[in-house]
Structure 1
Amino acid sequence: MTGRKKSADHSYDLLVIGSGPAGESAAIAAAKAGKRVGVVENRALVGGGCAHKGTIPSKSLRHVVKQIIQFKANSLFREIGDSRRLTFPRVLQSAAKVIPKQVELHTNFYVRNRVTVHMGEASFHDKNTVNLAMLDGGIETIYADKIVIATGSRPYRPADVDFNHPRIYDSDTILEMQHTPRHIIIYGAGVIGCEYASIFSGLGMRVDLINNRERLLSFLDDEISDALSYHLRDSGVTVRHGEEYEAIEASDSSVTLFLQSGKRLKADAILWCNGRSGNTDQLNLAAIGLEADHRGNLKVNHEYRTQVENIYAVGDVIGWPSLASSSYGQGRAVSGGIFGDECRPVQDVPTGIYTLPEISSVGKTESELTQAKVPYEVGRALFKNTARGQISGEDVGMLKLLFHVDTLEILGVHCFGAEAAEIVHIGQAIMTQKGEGNNIHYFLNNIFNYPTMAEAYRVAALDGINRISRR
């Protein structure tokens, strides 16, 4: 035992810095392997950005807005004649009710698995020692054989934008907005920007969505991207492609966005959604010879190991795909690799985009298959033609299957519409099967409950097989 280890206030086999999805899964996997595990969280409550600023509050907000839209669209409720206008703070209040439940749930995970949680800001002293500035003002020293950095990310803030102004927000501070804009500008049309464009238009706000590329979410299948663009515009969102910002000016009553194209857009507020930065600036990485890139992200190998042999990194802090789902998998994988099992890197992560309607996909797109010269065919099921879609009023969207013409292997699953993020997992499960198990005939030879949204797989498979048989 080294002198440093003896003098430390706490000693662990594994120390995890961050208690979000990546950190939690790494810590609990190690604890279940019988290791002494500690976790550092710089908030007063566990859960990380996912529970407090990102996935959970924004998706809960979306759910409340979806309920409002359904209420307004239902003629039965319109007969009630309740014309009270819901303010954004009131909607936020309703959405935030889920956060304490999530904190309690995840706190219990640590307690049941005997993982010690330290509240404070961690910084490296050396590759085995972390100094902890506790929230109550005290200082502790923690020693660990292995350390996993899972500190997550935060919205990227360019230096020339004044985020202290009460009309300028990022995707964290928008969850604290205490007024209800009539008109809002969203700069950045990535996943977060598109999700908030749906939310705000659903609340009846006028929305300008500024995209610095030529199409929305270009990593999606073209048909799905086009459908998103159409439905955003149909809900009243003005989408402006190929634009770059020049400057932002804000007053007590409004905010003006100046674009390099010469356009000037004036609104009640602006939401900046143009990228994220890894939370590494407080870690004193120089003490261990590590350096983050210009966005604060760390480089790792296929085992999530950094350039320092006993230090690993997982989750948003290593960049793409920066999803809660992939972070959970990475955390579990890194602990497996550290403590003797094979490290299985997270691959083939399904997209889950919670716009209104939502989007989810896994596998190849039509463009990718075309470029690779793979002979494929398409099977589609429109939700408006399914009984469940008609019953529930969720008649917007479709399920799209891409499959090999010769082997009938499922190559891609793309879904746009109600419960897309749930529906996609049926196709994902079949795609991972070996041999004839991954075959479009699965959806023809097995019975689906009726009426269900999942029945769309049978309809899409029939559509695809019919396209082949007509040749």
Structure 2
Amino acid sequence: MEHYDLVIIGAGPSGYAAAMRAVDLKKKTLLIEKSTLGGAGVKNGALSSKTLWELSRDMLAFRKNLERYHLEPPKAVWHEIQTEVRKAVHERISLYQSHLNELEANPKYSNYIHFVEGEACIESDHIVSISTLTEDLLVETDYIIIATGSRPRHLPNIPIDEKYILTSDGIENMDDFPESMVIVGAGVIGCEYATIFSGFGQTKVFLIDKGDTILPFEDPDVVAVIEKNLESHGVHIHRNSSLSEIETKDGKVIYKLDFADGEQKTFTVDKALVSVGRVPNYENIWKDAVPIKMGKRGVEDHETHTSVNNIYAVGDITADINLVNVGELEGRYAVEKIFGEPKKKLVYENISTIMFLNPEVAGVGYNEKSAQEKELNYRVVTTDYSTIARATAKRNTQGFIKLLVTDDDEMKILGMRVVGEQASAAIQAVALLISMNKGIEELAECVHPHPSITEGIQESVRALLGKSILKSGLLKGKVSCYCYDCQKMEKVSMY
């Protein structure tokens, strides 16, 4: 029986990252994947959906530019869009596969990495079975990392067939743009797909929202911008509604909504997209005799360590944040924890996120809603994109930067949200300062390239310090600074 230092089950973002960190540490590693190399981080997930978003954004900008010159914009062709998405997925999978092939063929690395395509099962804490197309294998290992990812959640009252009523897994199989589509779920992914299909301009989108606003975890000023743009591109938001019935009939989707005011309405569309979260892939991964504890949202873990001494879990199978960058972080951390001592503690407070909406929304740390839930006193500055030269040059000044700091002389950074063009490019410096538990002085006098969106962050910091170029409160709606008192639950202007 072949013996390994480490067996990793799942070659998605977290498993692949874990394997590469184990190679760094010169550990004999077996990486197992039963379907697609790269997992949902590539296929039917992050890469494919974000490629769709980029193409949709390009099409929306193209249409706007043609309208500016009074030209009739062409229609997007779904077959061509599908082809580009599949090319992107193929390129990424090919990159991973070529990299693995080179590692296995290179004498410097070949003793430390082996890849098997097959279905794995943990027979005991040190034995893993693998079923491939040609043989069944048993291997022995010192340690195991489970990185089997997640899949779209199904609800018992929704008859998903991946033809008319779809999850994200079924989108690539559509024949054409539907004339109409209802999206069940107004969280990040649901809103992203509403942005994508409305952006192409060929689908009337309906979005079902249980509450009176989408993205219930975000601040109202962020939500207001996103809702305004969705509705301006024809998205109809069913607010305060719940889905009571949905069925397919004569090639159409018929759904019934119950509204908070007691009204009931029935609608007919071409397609339905169900976006109500994801569930971990844990079925048949380990035998009943292996005592891995499960929680309500996934494998219970303490800094990636499961209830079994030598077994670890990373990525979407755990109850932590389900993001590609978090999965990679956890995968690398688990390997370092197994074979040594990580230099940094695993923390989630400085995780940068991006929501692929219109405009994009990037965030790190607390927003106002979460800071108030934690009963924190804070100072906040909001700087409108119209004050940023780069946004003006791009002829797109919709958006703002909002920065939260502690309400004391240190003014340590609590969090930031950026809504607008190039939002994701503006977040990293602040994420670094949060991880270093630093204040804002470092950003105040840093020389940023001009013109750039990051200059808006610098002006925000200067405003909090009382030395901004554009003085807070003088230009209505442009730059504002407030203190929030959690005891009184009110904001007071700083200047």
**TM-score normalized by structure 1?**
0.90
Over aligned residues, Cα RMSD in angstroms?
Answer: 2.3
2:308 counterpart residue number: 308
316, 335, 350: which one pairs with 2:352?
Answer: 350
Structure 2 vs 1, CA of residues 248 and 56 (structure 1 numbering), >3 Å: closer, same or farther? same
What's the counterpart of residue 32 of structure 1?
A: 24
Counterpart of 1:298?
299
CA offset digits 1:15-39 (Å, max 9, x no partner): 0001111101111111211100011
Matching residue of 2:279: 277
User: Is the contact made by 2:187 and 2:216 (CA closer than 8 Å) also made in structure 1?
Assistant: no
CA contact (8 A) 1:330 1:346 kept: no
Q: Cα distance 1:369–1:158, how it changes in 2: closer, same or farther (>3 A)?
A: closer
SS in 2 for 1:337: helix
Determine if the alignment matches structure 1 residue 431 to structure 2 residue 434. Answer: yes
Q: Which string of whole-angstrom CA distances, capped at 9 and with x for unpartnered residues, describes residues 96-147 of structure 1?
A: 221122112222443435421110111222221122121x242222221111
**Structure 2 equivalent of residue 229 of structure 1:** 227
The one-letter code sitting in structure 2 at the alignment partner of 1:308 is V
- Structure 2 match to 1:331: 331
Q: Any idea what SS the aligned residue of 1:158 has?
A: coil
User: Contact 1:375–1:404 (CA<8 Å) still a contact in 2?
Assistant: yes
**C-alpha distance in 2, partners of 1:372/1:154?**
31
Identity %: 26
1:104 paired to 2:94: yes
Q: Within 5 Å, which residues of 2 pair with 1:413-424?
A: 413-424=416-427
Shift of 1:50: 0.6
Give the gaps of 5 or more residues in structure 2: 104-108, 473-480, 482-492
1:187 Cα deviation from its structure 2 partner? 0.1
Deviations 1:438-469 (A, max 9, x none): 22x33331211111111111232244335479
- 2:477 is aligned to none
After TM superposition, give the deviation of residue 280 of structure 1 in Å: 0.9
Q: In structure 2, do the counterparts of structure 1 residues 370 and 180 end up closer, same or farther at CA, with 3 Å as the change threshold?
A: closer
| Alpha-carbon distance between aligned partners in 2 of 1:26 and 1:152, rounded to the nearest angstrom | 14
Letter in 2 for 1:456: G
Q: Distance in 1 between matches of 2:73 and 2:42?
A: 33
CA contact (8 A) 2:37 2:93 kept: yes
CA distance in 2, matches of 1:42, 1:371: 42
- Judged with a 3 Å threshold, the aligned counterparts in structure 2 of structure 1 residues 153 and 372 are, in CA distance, closer, same or farther, namely closer
Is structure 2 residue 103 aligned with structure 1 residue 90?
no
The aligned residue for residue 55 of structure 2 is: 64
Q: Tell me the alpha carbon deviations over residues 128-175 of structure 1, each in whole angstroms, 9 at most, x when there is no partner.
A: 1122121x2422222211110000000011234332262111011112
**Pairwise CA distance, 1:373:** 5.0
TM-score after normalising by structure 2: 0.86
Q: 2:131 aligns to what?
A: 133
Tell me whether 154-163 or 197-206 shows the greater mean CA deviation: 154-163
Deviation digits for residues 396-442 of structure 1 (CA, Å, limit 9, x no counterpart)? 211111223432322221111112122111221233334xx522x33
Change (3 A) 1:162 1:286: same
Aligned partners of 2:293 and 2:306 also within 8 Å: no
- The answer for the alignment partner of 1:396 in structure 2 is 398
**Which residue of 1 is the match for residue 490 of structure 2?**
none
| CA–CA distance in structure 2, aligned partners of residues 237 and 272 of structure 1 | 16
Name stretches of at least 5 consecutive residues in structure 1 with no aligned partner.
1-7
Partner of 1:4: none
Q: CA 1:462–1:167 in 2, change beyond 3 Å: closer, same or farther?
A: same
Alpha-carbon distance between aligned partners in 2 of 1:404 and 1:21, rounded to the nearest angstrom: 35
Q: Work out the number of aligned pairs and report it.
A: 455
Q: Secondary structure at the match of 1:357?
A: coil
How far apart in 2 are the matches of 1:327 and 1:346?
12
Match of 2:158 in 1: 161
Residue 291 (structure 1) shift? 5.0
Counterpart in the other structure of 1:3: none
